[in-house]
A and B are shown apart, each in its own frame.
Chain A
């Protein structure tokens, strides 16, 4: 069975059927793209996969476990991490602390230990700092560790969000428009970074993107959404040559 198996997923907001009969199957290690016109329901799919919305119908299986309708925090613990289209960092905290919050569930010490500053507090904090710096160094952000997250430049904020998601140790990483608002140079850097983290962390990635250069450059498979329904899915080259997709999204 695939790492992520989604069958007949659907959600209604009142009378609006936002996503209907959505099927998706991602094998371990794949880099999968989810594309489609604005308002097609791509982010809604992400929100259902991460438990922010509860799907009305359908099932989501991660590594054979049913995670349909579970709480967001539990789904993260099961192995799904994500970034957001409109960046959601912990802006009032340092870059380092943002990643350390991502590491929260991998390191353990109690509230009382923290208040009393027992030896375990110092030992664990040191380990967390080292681990966080290690993750930041992948993105070249380790030199900016003490800066407030909200003071980072836009492109770096996107990378920090990915770093924070990676810190939770996911099996599956969901990237919601990682290249939005980036110039061509930044997009190229981002493509390299995505390839790098895939290799370094050995994880599976599902991404939403409008930048066709990025999508065709790195995604192995694609699913195209249109009006909440799957229009086409399969290997990237096949999907991008599908006349239906060209008509609905790419333009003739």
Chain B
């Protein structure tokens, strides 16, 4: 019980910090005190945080390393952008976005589920390799898809634009490697923050529920979990599907924040999967709030260091190494424990201060 309260407290304080940051940044943006560079990053940061939260569920609680979460993000992005584009003139803005959010999430969940069936028979390195391949396959398949729309309905081809055989007045929805252009830019910072908070609440509730306990039990000791009667495959599938769905929400946000959605190595490929994994590992495996912090810091850092031009990636990598050592090196962990520099100890100190002030 106490344990549950502790994690609930942590969730509430994380949400508190996010809300405060949201208000500050919104006011700054409203009064024109935010650089255009920074304000352009607000939505992507939330999108990456969402994917990191989703991946953390997979890595931290299911205990399986997935290198394909950019792929689920990609599925969510393209499914929702496709829907938005097709119904651009037929459904009003707000319900259309809600529907496209649902569709993006469901598609990512569906792909997560389908991929999980074969993949969860594997574990460790093998699972990582297969998910990595999946991410690349998704990206490459999307790059050869052509879909057009005219009065007769949708036309589909995997060859080129001409083989669609559209009427002269038809519009091209998905244009192969040029992706989807002209989707409505509906992702606002407010919406992104709301979705992020929702994802944090959902993941928190999930890991503290009956199903979540079963998932953690399977991670801790699969044989023992089987001997107490837990259906292993079922719970692995549920956890992986939810994880993919949350990554899909990140994809929907990402897609509705830009004019032209293209699947490249940098946004939906291997690089992005690794980037997200870096957020998860540095933020703390199994620590959802940490993933958000890491995603925010590590997305903003290279942008803020732009002034240093070519040296910025060098500094970025040094920061990564330093953070990794700070969080994981045994000798540094020992030092932090000794001098009360762990997150728990600092939180306790704050608590003491607050109670003193009250009394």
Contacts and interface: CB of A to CB of B under 8 A. Distances in A.
B224 A111 contact: no
B228 interface: yes
A50 B225 CA distance: 12
Given A77-B229, A114-B205, A115-B205, A101 B214 contact: yes
Contacts of A111: 206, 209, 211, 238
A92 B205 contact: no
A199 B220 CA distance: 32
- The listed residue with most B CB atoms (<10 A of its CB), out of A88, A91, A110, is A88
A97 interface: yes
A100 interface: yes
A230 interface: no
Interface in B205-220: 205-206, 208-214, 216-217, 219-220
A168 interface: yes
B152 interface: no
B227 interface: yes
A125 B229 CA distance: 19
A113 B212 CA distance: 12
Interface string B182-218: 0000000000000000000010011011111110110
A32 to B, nearest CB: 19
Interface residues of B, number: 29
Contacts of A81: 227-228
Contacts, number: 102
Contacts of A71: 226
A247 interface: no
A72 interface: yes
B31 interface: no
A132 B211 CA distance: 17
Interface in A55-112: 71-73, 76-77, 81-82, 84, 88-94, 96-97, 100-102, 104-105, 107, 109-111
Interface centre among A97, A115, A121, by most chain B C-beta atoms within 10 angstroms, is A115
Contacts of A165: 227-228
B228 A91 contact: no
A171 interface: no
Most chain A beta-carbon contacts within 10 A, residue among B3, B209, B228, B230: B228
Given A72-B226, A104-B230, A117-B205, A97 B221 contact: no
Contact of B202 (A105, A115, A146): A115
26 contacts: A50-B227, A52-B223, A73-B226, A73-B232, A81-B227, A89-B220, A90-B217, A90-B221, A93-B217, A93-B220, A96-B3, A97-B3, A101-B217, A104-B213, A104-B228, A104-B229, A110-B211, A111-B209, A111-B211, A114-B209, A114-B211, A116-B205, A124-B210, A129-B1, A146-B3, A168-B229
Contacts of A124: 210
Contact of A82 (B217, B227, B232): B227
